Chains A and B, each alone.
Chain A
Amino acid sequence: MSQTRAELSVWVGGAAGDGIAASGESFAKACARSGYHVFAYNSYQSAIRGGHVCMHIRVGRQKVWTHGDGLQYLVALNADSVERYAARVPPGGAILYNRDKFDVKPERIPQGVQAIGLPVMELVGNQLMQNIALMGALYELLGLDAGAFKGLIRERFAKKGEGIVATNLSAFDKGAAFARAHAQPGGIRIGASDGKHRLVASGNALIAFGAVAAGCRFYAAYPMTPASSILHWMAKNAVKTGTLVKQAEDEIAVLNMAIGASHAGVRAMCATSGGGFALMSEAVGEAAMTETPVVVVEVQRAGPSTGVPTKTEQADLFQLLGASQGDFPKIILAPRTFNECYSMTIQAFNLADKYQCPVLLSSDLYLSERNETFEGLDITNIPIERGEIVTEANGEPYRRFLDTKTGVSPRALPGTPGTVYVAATDEHDPDGVVISDVFTNPSMRAKMMEKRMRKLDHILKELPEPELEGPKDADLTLIGWGSTYAVLVEAMQALNQEGLSAKGGSASGGKVNVFAPRALWPFKGEATRRLLERCTMTLAVEANYIGQLAKLIRMETGLAIQHHLHKYDGEPFEPAQVIAHARKLLKTKPKESTVASVVSDEGLPPDFSPIAAPGSEAVRVH
């Protein structure tokens, strides 16, 4: 009998250039169209060909929050993938491969796992059809209706003619037939879906879509992984959306172009990763000083410097906080989910316009590049707040930088009669007249500083209140931000389920909740302090070395998070890693603060014993 589960994971492994992303994304999209929830994370390397790539596709009858902890099915496009992952395939799972390319040694195949090697040449007569034939075999083993996948084949190859469509469909069917003839019954399968046609996208696509929905009409970028897919999406849709997309010579030019466009009245955005953002730094202050609204997306990758371009990390929070010289108002938002990638991008534009300051939207590779099903985006009622704009002179001399109660001065756009002014990056008075050199004026300088900084008080009121998710009376609060939020939610759900089923003195029994702020600057320090003071035990889970969110919380609340779990190997947290650490804390309830780090060597079961941080002691006591 087959084992029916609520979810399962398929990994497609091979070398760059093997077409893994295309096959994996097609499979993910087909599953979404068939009513399943999907989460597809591609672990890849910075190489056009070669290297190792593994697409993790997790399919569920209910929402799947992360790529999970393991796999049931392996589609191996090279022998290396078998070496790395075969041992992790559980009984009832299967390994699919092209027998023409390599052999899988029997000792590599775990007990209860079937290995199905397709004779691709003999079956379809063309090695280029390898991936399609393997997908056919996979569908057969999973017992899924292939209609949605075949539909995608038709869409994808329609332009190339009926012949190509037919060849691909035939290769799919032959792969399926081969699996039907050779597979043993009793494999792992997923239960029926609700049949609802689900939408699937990447986080970057939803940031880009959110920008367009918000009325962004100027987008500039310099190519940089993992932000480039925003540039591609924007460029592809430029004519449809009326968004001018400019690839620039460097990120310095990028943000300056966006600021120029915004000065002229157009909503403008740019996106980059940490290295590009470093180049933008000076212009972040330029936007603040000239009170020009602009949205900058920073999709973090593993640093420092060039770092690990195709790997995820959350180590740029301090860079965002510290970007550009001097004190000035800026806003840092950190979406955690796909819906927030969309809605918070819209919010970023509104805040930028209302408060005439730079808004930095942080994401990371794991949030931006994965493909995931989503629902519930409101694309009809989009709040657009352009802030105060002067459309005609009122007889009074126009003062662009008028000192007001909120610190916000009504803006006039070039082209408006009677309101000309100069926006200067030098300190200036309410009229925009520079007071930086000959006419240095300390009291005016102080007044203008206060005018700008006052905006922060008003911005703070518009930002979401900190809140705990899950049971109020939890024994342990998991704290994180950005993409890690999803991992924490999955860990919380698993731990609370475990607690419920093991009531009455289990080893790990204990309730868990989650705190994941999505507005990081200005920071709601007082409200966060009140919230965290009530927590029994706290664990910050961050994909960085020093625990930047925990440090920010300490700075703004005076509270030290007790326990820390850090990961900086470039791969995202797997829920099991967080669960295991939380279990240990719940069991031992240690009073001392510890820093544990997780480093998993891909291909091996995650080694989860806390290891010593290189060059320092494993345990740090605050």
Chain B
Amino acid sequence: MSAQAAEISPQEYKTDEHPIWCPGCGDFGVLASLYQSLAALKIHSKDLVVVSGIGCSGRTPGFVKSYGFHVVHGRVLPVSLGVKLANPKLTVIGVGGDGDGFAIGGGHIAHAVRRNFDVAYLVMDNATYGLTKGQYSPTAPKGFMAGSTPYGNIEKPINPLAMLIGYGATFVARGYSGKPRELADLITRAIEHKGFAFMDIISPCITFYNTYKVIPPQLAEVPKDHDATSRTRAFELALREDKVYLGVFYQTQEPTFEEGVAQVIKAAQASAPPRLDEIFAEFA
């Protein structure tokens, strides 16, 4: 991106496809915020790759003008890493749901975090599997009643923020689809962050787990005096149960994976192909 890039309207990121989400789905708010952030950052569609998993949120790339990749269930992060390392100039945004990210794809998060490659990973968290008719997800509360838990969920939910802070993510934030302006600001900061940026976005499922009445009274901004550079403070905030805090819990700067392999990337981008004869000499 050049500093003097022309203004881009949020509308320009819209595609001809109309979201198939249920009216009132939280994902509409996330999508609108994403358009705002992309426009604010003046990211050109051609330089943007939106990688998504499976589920309602997985349909997002179809609605954002970009090189999208709607991958198989749970594999947003490995595909994002491949894209980013193959062409570090691209802006890579990973999107998916809580089932896609924390259940079937949960094994990838720790490792994606360790690599600290430059990606913004947005999890649209509704605590349920909407597309498969409302089963309990890893973030569903105890007692959650659904088709696969007719007697109530007996597993405790994971705490995505504490988990990501524990893994060592360099940017950890929470947003809410019902506060699109604040959400857009957070997404902008996540995309701007150099390294692995994680966002847990509360995005209610109006059909299977409607929390629109339950969530707002619990919401609070991350306290003004919160020290987001302290991992300990961030962890404490993530564990607090008095409120559902919105904002940046933790942010730090660490070398990215791309920086670690700069020598290889430079060699790969060299105009001359590798000297096969020199490499071949090892067989002599």
Contact of A414 among B77, B83, B284 (CB under 8 A): B83
Bound complex: CA of A184 vs CA of B274, how far in Å?
52
- Some 22 contacts from A to B, beta carbons below 8 A apart, are A197-B284, A209-B279, A217-B268, A239-B267, A240-B275, A249-B110, A252-B78, A253-B75, A253-B78, A256-B72, A256-B78, A257-B78, A263-B69, A268-B86, A285-B72, A414-B48, A415-B46, A424-B62, A424-B68, A425-B70, A433-B17, A434-B62
Q: How far is the CA of A265 from the CA of B86 in the complex (A)?
A: 7
- Minimum Cβ distance to chain A for residue B83 (Å): 4
The reply on B174 being an interface residue by CB < 8 A is no
The reply to whether the CB of B151 lies closer than 8 angstroms to some CB of chain A is no
When the two chains form their complex, are residues A286 and B71 in contact, meaning their CB atoms are under 8 A apart?
yes
Q: Would you call A260 and B80 a contact (CB within 8 A)?
A: yes
Are the C-beta atoms of B268 and A260 separated by less than 8 Å? no
In the complex, are the beta carbons of B20 and A437 less than 8 A apart?
yes
Pick the contact of B87: A258, A414, A438 (CB < 8 A): A414
Chain-A contact segment, one of B189-197, B234-242, B244-252, B257-265? B257-265
| Pick from A209, A212, A245, A264: contact of B49, CB under 8 Å | A264
Using known A-B contacts A238-B264, A423-B68, A423-B69, determine if residue A257 contacts B81 with beta carbons closer than 8 Å.
yes
CB contact between A244 and one of B90, B261, B283 (< 8 Å): that residue: B261
Binds B, one of A34-42, A198-206, A453-461: A198-206
Contacts of B107 in A (CB 8 A): 249-250, 252-253
Interface string of B48-88 (1 = CB under 8 A from A): 11010010000101100111111110010111111111110
> Do A246 and B85 form a contact, CB below 8 Å, given A209-B280, A240-B279, A253-B78?
yes
Asked whether, in the complex, the Cβ of A260 is within 8 Å of the Cβ of B283, the reply is no
Known: A240-B267, A257-B81, A283-B72. A414 touches B61 (CB 8 A): no
Pairwise interchain contact A423-B70, C-beta atoms closer than 8 A? yes
The 4 tightest CB contacts between A and B, nearest first, are A260-B82, A242-B267, A422-B68, A242-B268
Q: Assess whether A264 is in contact with B268, with CB atoms less than 8 Å apart.
A: no
Task: Return chain B residues, CB-CB under 8 Å to A201.
Answer: 283
A199 B283 Cβ-Cβ under 8 A: yes
Contacts of A422 in B (CB 8 A): 61-62, 67-70
Does B7 interact with chain A (Cβ within 8 Å)? no
Contacts of A418 in B (CB 8 A): 46
Chain B residues within an 8 Å CB radius of A260 = 51, 69, 78-84, 86
Bound-state CA distance A433–B62 (Å) is 7
Task: Give chain B's interface residues, CB within 8 Å of chain A.
Answer: 17, 20, 44-49, 51, 54, 59, 61-62, 65-72, 75, 77-87, 89-90, 107-108, 110-111, 261, 263-270, 273-280, 283-284
* Residues from chain B with Cβ under 8 Å of A205 in the complex: 283
Chain B CB within 8 A of A79 CB: no
Interface range on chain A (Cβ under 8 Å from partner): 35 or more
A248 engages B274 (CB within 8 Å): no
**When each residue 184-223 of chain A gets 1 if its CB lies under 8 Å from chain B and 0 otherwise, what string results?**
0000000000000101110001000100110101101000
- In angstroms, how far is the closest chain A Cβ from the Cβ of B157? 24
Which residues of A258-273 have CB atoms within 8 Å of chain B's CB atoms?
A: 258-266, 268
Interface majority SS (helix, strand, loop, mixed), chain A: mixed
Query: Does A545 interact with chain B (Cβ within 8 Å)?
Result: no
* A200-B283, A244-B265 known; A290-B46 Cβ under 8 A: no
Question: B274, A290: Cβ atoms under 8 Å?
Answer: no
B282 to chain A, nearest CB (A): 8
Residues of B within 8 A of A420 (CB): 45-46, 65-68
Once the chains bind, are A258 and B82 in contact (CB under 8 Å)? yes
Question: What is the minimal beta-carbon distance from A389 to any residue of chain B, in angstroms?
Answer: 14
Q: With A213-B276, A285-B72 given, name 18 new contacts (CB 8 A).
A: A209-B279, A212-B276, A218-B86, A239-B264, A240-B275, A240-B278, A242-B264, A242-B265, A244-B85, A253-B78, A257-B79, A263-B82, A379-B277, A414-B83, A418-B46, A423-B68, A425-B70, A433-B62
In the complex, the answer to whether B90 meets A415 with C-beta atoms within 8 Å is yes
B20: nearest residue on chain A (CB-CB)?
A438
Cβ-defined contact, B71 with A256, below 8 A = yes
Report chain A residues within 8 Å CB of B90: 264, 414-415
Flag if A262 contacts B82 (CB, 8 Å). Answer: yes
Q: Is A475 an interface residue (CB 8 A)?
A: no
A282 near B: Cβ within 8 Å?
Answer: yes
Beta-carbon contacts under 8 Å, A223-258 to B: 237-246, 248-250, 252-254, 256-258
Query: Bound state CA distance, A97 and B196, in angstroms?
Result: 57
In the assembled complex, A2 has its CB within 8 A of some CB on chain B: no
Known A-B contacts A260-B81, A379-B280, A425-B70; A253 and B49 likewise in contact (beta carbons under 8 Å): no
Of B47, B85, B269, B273, which is within 8 A of A261 by CB?
B85
Residues of B within 8 A of A256 (CB): 71-72, 75, 78-79, 82
